[in-house]
Chain A
């Protein structure tokens, strides 16, 4: 039952992601590739799409995976599932607000979770990087050099706080030019 599987998977993703946005990436990557719903490069493509369309990344990626795997019904299931845990948890927190704010338990959990997310994203960055830069094995060929060049330029721009959509458009432009120019 694909709807149930989508629901359960995205419910887990919603429940175990702290910090939102890219913090969700390691978990989504693990689940989506394990189910063979999406390849790593499709996932990276979609990050670019999500940065250029409105709305939170988590909601966008859930809708997209749901849509590709199970059509409109699948999209509704996945999106509902990813939102449901936060909705329920926030309602609980809102009721026990003052106790939650002073809870040493919660503070402790966050002390553990913040560095965890950093470690997890670093690991995801490396393994995704392997797919992006070395898709034809560990070769230093034209395709690798162009990718590495784009990465270096965009990293400089990103750290200068240029807008992500600008970076994506520039990368796309260089990709098209290099692709036709070098006949890759």
Chain B
């Protein structure tokens, strides 16, 4: 077997094991392992990786691993890197779920999770706020936010349908704006 493939798998397994919370927390680690330690890709490439990982569906960590793996060693490389980033958490969660099931009825654990649920709401609020601040703010963005919010909160419309409709609206909005800009010269 190719050493590069094993190396890819091990590198991304290491990245998978040491990232808590996933997503953006993983980017600095990827940078250290893949750019600085192994010189597989350049610093500029990392920016592309982030941009692509953000604008394609799925977890950012998985997207980044697949993309870098493919860049270095083709489809086989993509498979190895993706397996590397996924397998550690897979086994850890399988183990955790057995432990959780065993302790769920303990009174102290129930109290702990009762407190934790309120704390997690704060984490969700923080995530909401940082996504809101990263979002470009103009009339279109505010309309889409209000539309998506109301469709779920008031009318319980299917989330996938809302996502599809809003993506199409975004495409139309960009096309119309491009046309207007062209006409103005």
Point out residues on A near B: beta carbons under 8 Å. 12, 14-27, 30, 41, 44-45, 47-60, 63-64, 67-68, 72, 75-76, 79, 82-83, 85-87, 89-91, 93-94, 100-101, 104-129, 132-133, 146-148, 150-151, 154-155, 157-159, 164-165, 167-168, 170-176, 178-180, 184
List of B residues within 8 angstroms of A108 by Cβ? 170-175
Closest to A25 in B: B124
- Are A86 and B58 interface neighbours, CB within 8 A? yes
Alpha-carbon distance A41/B112, docked complex (angstroms): 13
- Offer 5 A-B interface pairs, CB within 8 angstroms, sorted by A: A90-B66, A108-B172, A120-B149, A151-B119, A178-B115
Overall SS of chain B's interface: helix
Cross-chain contact of B118 among A21, A51, A100, A147 (Cβ < 8 A): A147
- Of A54, A56, A109, A159, the contact of B62 (CB 8 Å cutoff): A56
Residue contact A180 to B66, C-beta cutoff 8 Å: no
**Interface SS of chain A: helix, strand, loop or mixed?**
helix
B60 within 8 A of A: yes
Given A45-B117, A107-B174, A175-B115, also A57-B22 (CB < 8 A): yes
Contact call A128/B55, Cβ cutoff below 8 A: no
Contact: A26 with B20, CB < 8 Å?
no
Please determine whether B63 and A90 come into contact, CB atoms closer than 8 angstroms.
yes
Asked whether, in the complex, the Cβ of B59 is within 8 Å of the Cβ of A30, the reply is no
User: Does B145 make an interface contact (CB < 8 A)?
Assistant: yes
Within 8 A of A (CB), among B42-98: 48, 51-63, 66-67, 70-71, 75, 78, 82, 85-86, 88-90, 92-94, 96-97
Across chains A and B, the number of contacting residue pairs, with CB separation under 8 Å, is 384
Name the interface residues of B93-144: CB closer than 8 Å to any CB of A.
93-94, 96-97, 100-101, 107-108, 110-129, 131-132, 134-136, 140-142, 144
Whether A171 contacts B115 by the Cβ 8 Å rule is yes
From known contacts A26-B159, A120-B152, infer whether A112 and B135 are also in contact, taking CB-CB under 8 Å. no
Report the minimal beta-carbon distance from A54 to chain B, rounded to whole angstroms: 5
B80 to A: closest C-beta gap in Å: 12
- Measured CA separation A127–B29 after assembly (Å): 35
Query: By the criterion CB–CB under 8 Å, are B144 and A55 in contact?
Result: no
Cβ contact within 8 Å between B118 and A148: yes
Is B57 in contact with A171, judged by CB distance below 8 angstroms? no
Looking across the interface, which residue of chain A has its beta carbon closest to that of B141?
Answer: A115
Q: A82–B90 Cα gap in the complex (Å)?
A: 12
Among candidates A57, A112, A121, residue contacting B166 with C-beta atoms closer than 8 Å: A112
Instruction: Check: B41 CB closer than 8 A to any chain A CB.
Output: no
A119 touches B119 (CB 8 A): no
Please tell me if the beta carbons of B19 and A54 are within 8 angstroms of each other in the complex: yes
B108 touches A176 (CB 8 A): yes
